[in-house]
């Protein structure tokens, strides 16, 4: 089955998405998500200039060989731009493979290990009162696992907290906005926040929190230790992931489970973390971490070391990415949880999907392939809008992690 053509579709139904569509001589096409928040056009250029010309004429069924062609064969390996492009190619080819066999993708990944996918929702508010209310709303919607982020008195903009009554969306139009950060205020606030969440809602709900890379290892160790009484499902990105050894210090001091990797893009970002059992959950998503072909290997390595998956699923990953994740989540044994932020209603004008939320879980229909389609005419109604993630500075102006 030969690849005859491929094209990149960029649209902005509320936020930017980059989708790769690969066509074959069997009349079957596949979709891959190539969205890299705030760096969309860089991935488009890499795909259009370097990947698509090399894809045409190849056999779409050879997912393993084509993965290595675009990874090893590229010489300039790894990195978020090239790996987002490679991930999109891999997802599109697996979509084609499953459609050609007229079966849902999960059947090619081992079949179903479970019937539905446990998800976690986001609850946030501009202060602790609003945040507690938001947790209550998610409980009422049936969520069994809830990520809690809150505005902190004395700090103007906080990661994970929505502006006004809009759903949370970190990318803003134009150049990056600057935010201010205060680690001391954050560290004294968060344990109190989780104490009040547990006091209000009890123990019968999984709670998660995202530090978003903003602590040093010793600060993260203090936080993880002080959060122990509230039994978090996980503490995410407690330190920035470039230095894998940073997690060792956190681990030595606390039993709070640790998740990391939404900005990772290969298995090599995880080797120390997994083999030394320094983490509990891998977050690297299919659409940034090399697609089905590479994540299958990462998940298998993780399984040997009692590490589970908890894929990134923010709204800057398109419905193609979420649906592909759900197939993977259904299939593997060491699935842990899936992040779920519903996309804005305008997204479903462009993408049709086969998943639905019910009582704390996502359910997937039995459509062949990944099960997502994109309406190209409708996508044209939503042209690309330049947008960027914020940057972060400490109070004295020092540039810090966002």
Contacts to ligand KDG by CB under 6 A: 37, 170, 210, 212, 236, 262, 312, 314, 316, 339, 389
For the bound state, the minimum distance from the C-beta of residue 314 to ligand KDG, rounded and expressed in Å, comes to 4
Site residues for Mg ion, 234-263, by CB under 5 A, read 262
How far apart CA 278 and CA 276 sit, in angstroms, is: 5
DSSP letter assigned to residue 384: -
Question: Rounded distance, CA 94 to CA 32, Å?
Answer: 9
Q: Which of 29, 71, 120, 159 is catalytic?
A: 159
Q: Which of 122, 212, 294, 327 is catalytic?
A: 212
Quote the least distance from Cβ 260 to ligand KDG, whole Å. Answer: 10
Decide whether 194 or 281 has the Cβ nearer to Mg ion.
Answer: 281
Q: How far is the CB of 281 from ligand KDG (least distance, A)?
A: 12
9 binds, among Mg ion, ligand KDG, none (CB under 5 to 8 A by kind): none
CA dist., res. 199 & res. 138, Å (int): 17
Question: Would you say 329 or 373 has its CB closer to ligand KDG?
Answer: 329
CA distances (Å), origin 352, targets 59, 204, 319, 347, 373: 27, 34, 8, 9, 5
Any catalytic annotation for residue 212?
yes
What minimum distance in Å lies between the beta carbon of 339 and ligand KDG? Answer: 6
Distance CA 253, CA 245 (A): 14
Pairing relationship of beta strands 387-388 and 172-173 according to DSSP bridges? antiparallel
With CB under 5 to 8 Å by kind, the binding choice for 226 among Mg ion, ligand KDG, none is: none
205 binds, among Mg ion, ligand KDG, none (CB under 5 to 8 A by kind): none
Three-class secondary structure of residue 250 per DSSP: helix
Least distance from C-beta 272 to ligand KDG, angstroms? 22
What, of Mg ion, ligand KDG, none, does residue 219 touch, CB below 5 to 8 Å by kind?
A: none
Of the candidates 4, 8, 32, the residue with the CA atom closest to the CA atom of residue 369: 32
CB of 237 to ligand KDG, least distance (A): 7
Q: Which single residue brings its beta carbon nearest to Mg ion?
A: 210
- Angstrom CA distances, 225 to 46, 217, 266, 383, stand at 43, 12, 29, 47
**Best CA proximity match to 173, nearest among 41, 358, 28, 14:** 14
Is there binding between residue 316 and Mg ion (CB under 5 A)?
no
Q: Please tell me what DSSP assigns to residue 317.
A: S
Q: How many residues at the interface with Mg ion, by CB under 5 A?
A: 2
Q: Which is nearer to Mg ion, 210 or 280 (CB)?
A: 210
From the list Mg ion, ligand KDG, none, partner contacted by residue 316 (C-beta under 5 to 8 A by kind): ligand KDG
| Biggest alpha carbon–alpha carbon distance for the chain | 61
39 or 78, CB closer to ligand KDG? 39
Nearer to ligand KDG, 26 or 389 (CB): 389
> For residue 273, what is the enclosing H or E element?
helix 271-275
* Of the candidates 287, 46, 37, the residue with the CA atom closest to the CA atom of residue 168: 37
Unique residue bearing structure tokens 């042209």: 383
Cα gap 56→48, rounded to integer Å: 12
Q: Which does 339 bind (CB under 5 to 8 A by kind): Mg ion, ligand KDG, none?
A: ligand KDG
Query: Which of 262/329 has CB closer to ligand KDG?
Result: 262
Between 170 and 371, CB nearer to ligand KDG = 170
For the CB of residue 148, give the shortest distance to ligand KDG in the complex, in Å. Answer: 12
- Say whether residue 210 binds Mg ion (CB under 5 A): yes
* CB distance 18 to 10 below 8 Å: yes
CA–CA dist 397, 375 (Å, integer): 45
Residue 28 backbone class (left: φ over 0; alpha: ψ -120 to 50; beta: rest): beta
Interacting residue ranges for Mg ion, rule: CB under 5 A: 210, 262
Q: Which residues are catalytic?
A: 159, 212
């Amino acid at each position: 089955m030969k690849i005859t053509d491929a094209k990149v579709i960029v649209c902005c139904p509320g936020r930017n998405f980059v989708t790769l569509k690969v066509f074959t001589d069997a009349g079957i096409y596949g979709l891959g998500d190539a969205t890299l928040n705030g760096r969309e056009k860089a991935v488009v250029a890499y795909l259009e200039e370097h990947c698509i010309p090399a894809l045409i004429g190849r056999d779409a069924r050879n997912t393993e060989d084509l993965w290595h062609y675009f990874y090893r064969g590229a010489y300039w390996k790894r990195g978020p731009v090239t790996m987002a492009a490679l991930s999109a190619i891999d997802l599109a080819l697996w979509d084609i493979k499953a459609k050609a066999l007229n079966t849902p993708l999960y059947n090619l990944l081992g079949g179903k290990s479970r019937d539905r996918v446990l998800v976690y929702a986001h609850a946030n508010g501009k202060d602790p009162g609003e945040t507690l209310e938001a947790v209550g709303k998610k409980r009422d919607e049936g969520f069994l696992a809830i990520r809690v982020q809150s505005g902190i008195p004395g700090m103007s903009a906080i990661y994970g907290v929505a502006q006004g009554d809009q759903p949370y969306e970190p990318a803003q139009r134009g150049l990056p906005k600057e935010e201010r950060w205060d680690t001391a205020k954050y560290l004294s606030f968060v344990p109190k926040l989780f104490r009040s969440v547990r006091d209000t809602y009890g123990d019968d709900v999984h709670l998660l929190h995202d530090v978003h890379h903003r602590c040093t290892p010793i600060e993260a160790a203090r936080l993880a230790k002080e959060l122990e009484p509230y039994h978090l499902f996980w503490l995410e990105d407690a330190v920035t992931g470039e230095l894998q050894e940073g997690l060792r210090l956190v681990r030595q001091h606390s039993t709070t489970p640790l998740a990391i990797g939404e900005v990772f893009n290969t298995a090599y970002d995880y080797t120390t973390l997994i083999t030394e059992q320094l983490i509990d959950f891998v977050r690297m998503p299919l659409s940034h971490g090399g697609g089905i072909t590479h994540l299958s290997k990462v998940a298998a390595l993780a399984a040997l070391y009692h590490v589970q998956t908890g894929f990134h699923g923010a709204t800057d990953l398109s419905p193609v990415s979420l649906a592909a994740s759900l197939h993977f989540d259904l299939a593997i044994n060491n699935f842990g949880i899936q992040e779920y932020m519903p996309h804005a209603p305008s997204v479903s004008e462009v993408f049709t999907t086969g998943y639905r939320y019910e009582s704390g879980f996502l359910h997937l229909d039995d459509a062949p392939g990944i099960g997502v389609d994109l309406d190209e005419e409708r996508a044209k109604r939503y042209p690309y809008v330049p947008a960027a993630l914020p940057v972060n500075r400490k109070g004295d102006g020092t540039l810090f992690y966002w």
